[in-house]
């Protein structure tokens, strides 16, 4: 891959102003809010499908295809948790518990006619070897939780412990990983809980000083720094892999182009890009807000931007992926996409 280094060039006045606006957009929040933002409910990285795919992206580079079956189990587990959270949040306690109890009863005894329709993905998951116990545990947990508290860590951490047992037996040959806009170690904390962090030479940066302070407080020995995706302070090809969550929709067209250039400049092999607001439309729909943007990005225009730096691009529309492969049709975000890009 050949990309001209740009981190020594001076940012345009527009990008300087955009940097300040982005800093102000997040900097006015309290540390406690930033520490819990995007790690709760369906955004919890333990059960958020795009965060699960980030871990699988990295695990495949560490372990190859040895544990593809475990990865499928983890996705099915996460879908079950998301389905439960949807029921618990949209129904009264009595109604939600009755529906979950009926589904569990039907799964345990298929000779009975269920009072409610059992989702196909649950039937398929429950029938898989080594997974039915996890599904049953989650359903039983949901029958006893306080609606305001949701599922407890004891159950949400199940696959953190599964991966930790697997990775404890593997030799730790580290890979270099960069995460722009890392937040308060939103995803990294679960790399650590799952044992994946032992295999990573990780660098994370964020514009918000409070986010970095939160991350450094928990992980003082890990490279978390204040930094700007418009001018990443790394040499060309300094990192082997890079992943980014929910950043690009918040940038101006100039900022978006600059960030893609920078990420491709500093990464040598693959990038995993997550989008929360994307559609198969001919052009980006640009929507500035008071401090940043909330754009609807075009698949076509993003492809045109990234293709000059790539050998291949795998584009995953999360809703279609879950519907086609798992029979799951209730994803909370129909505009979510994940791209796996192999760089030149």
Domains of the chain, start order: 13-40+173-343 (3.40.50.150)
Chain segment 77-128, per-residue pLDDT in tens: 999 999 998 888 887 878 888 889 999 988 988 766 667 788 999 999 998 8
**205-234 CB burial, b ≥16 within 10 A, e <16:** bbbbebbbebbbeebeebebeebbbbbbeb
Chain segment 13-57, per-residue pLDDT in tens: 999 999 999 999 999 999 999 999 889 989 999 999 999 999 999
Residues 6+ apart with CB under 8 A from 102: 114, 115, 116
How many whole angstroms separate alpha carbon 333 and alpha carbon 324? Answer: 16
Chain segment 269-287, per-residue pLDDT in tens: 999 999 999 999 999 999 9
Q: Look at residue 173 and tell me whether its pLDDT is greater than 90.
A: no
- Residue 306 — φ and ψ, nearest 5°? -90, -30
Report the pLDDT value the prediction gives residue 132, as an integer from 0 to 100: 80
Report the pLDDT value the prediction gives residue 147, as an integer from 0 to 100: 58
Chain segment 305-341, per-residue pLDDT in tens: 999 999 999 999 999 999 999 999 999 999 999 999 9
DSSP H or E segment with residue 315 = strand 310-317
Chain segment 247-264, per-residue pLDDT in tens: 999 999 999 999 999 999
Residues in the chain: 344
Mean pLDDT of the chain: 92
142 versus 179: which is more confidently predicted?
179
Report the pLDDT value the prediction gives residue 113, as an integer from 0 to 100: 67
Report the pLDDT value the prediction gives residue 137, as an integer from 0 to 100: 87
Instruction: Give the position of tokens 């918040």.
Output: 250
CA dist 105 → 108, 111, 128, 149, 269 (Å): 5, 10, 17, 24, 48
Report the pLDDT value the prediction gives residue 88, as an integer from 0 to 100: 83
Which residue from 315, 322, 308, 310 is spatially nearest to 339, judged by alpha carbons?
315
Chain segment 145-155, per-residue pLDDT in tens: 765 567 889 88
Q: Look at residue 5 and tell me whether its pLDDT is greater than 50.
A: no
Residues 6+ apart with CB under 8 A from 65: none
């Amino acid at each position: 891959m050949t990309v001209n280094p740009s981190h020594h060039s001076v940012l345009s006045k527009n990008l300087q102003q955009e940097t300040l606006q982005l800093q102000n957009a997040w900097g006015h929040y309290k540390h406690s809010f930033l520490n819990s933002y995007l790690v709760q409910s369906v955004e919890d990285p333990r059960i958020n499908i795009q965060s699960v795919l980030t871990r699988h992206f990295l695990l495949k580079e560490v372990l190859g295809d040895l544990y593809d079956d475990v990865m499928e189990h983890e996705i099915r587990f996460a879908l079950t948790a998301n389905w439960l959270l949807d029921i618990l949040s949209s129904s009264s306690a009595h109604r939600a518990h009755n529906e979950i109890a009926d589904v569990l009863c039907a799964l345990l005894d298929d000779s009975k006619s269920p009072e409610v329709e059992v989702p196909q993905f649950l039937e398929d998951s429950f029938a898989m070897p080594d997974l039915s116990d996890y599904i049953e545990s989650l359903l039983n947990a949901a029958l006893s939780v306080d609606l305001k508290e949701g599922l407890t860590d004891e159950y949400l951490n199940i696959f953190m412990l599964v991966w930790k047992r697997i990775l404890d037996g593997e030799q730790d040959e580290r890979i270099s990983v960069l995460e722009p806009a890392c937040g308060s170690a939103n995803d990294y904390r679960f790399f650590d809980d799952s044992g994946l962090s032992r295999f990573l030479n990780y660098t994370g940066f964020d514009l918000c000083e409070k986010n970095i302070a939160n991350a450094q407080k928990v992980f003082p020995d890990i490279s978390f720094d204040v930094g700007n995706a418009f001018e990443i302070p790394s040499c060309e090809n300094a990192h082997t892999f890079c992943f980014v969550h929910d950043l690009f929709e918040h940038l101006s067209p100039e900022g978006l182009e600059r960030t893609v250039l920078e990420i491709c400049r500093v990464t040598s092999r693959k990038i995993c890009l997550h989008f929360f607001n994307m559609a198969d439309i001919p052009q980006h729909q640009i929507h500035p807000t008071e401090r940043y943007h909330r754009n609807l990005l075009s698949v076509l225009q993003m492809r045109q931007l990234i293709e000059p730096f790539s050998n291949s691009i795998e584009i995953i529309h999360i809703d279609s992926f879950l519907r086609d492969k798992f029979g799951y049709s209730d994803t909370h975000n129909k505009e979510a996409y994940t791209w796996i890009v192999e760089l030149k």
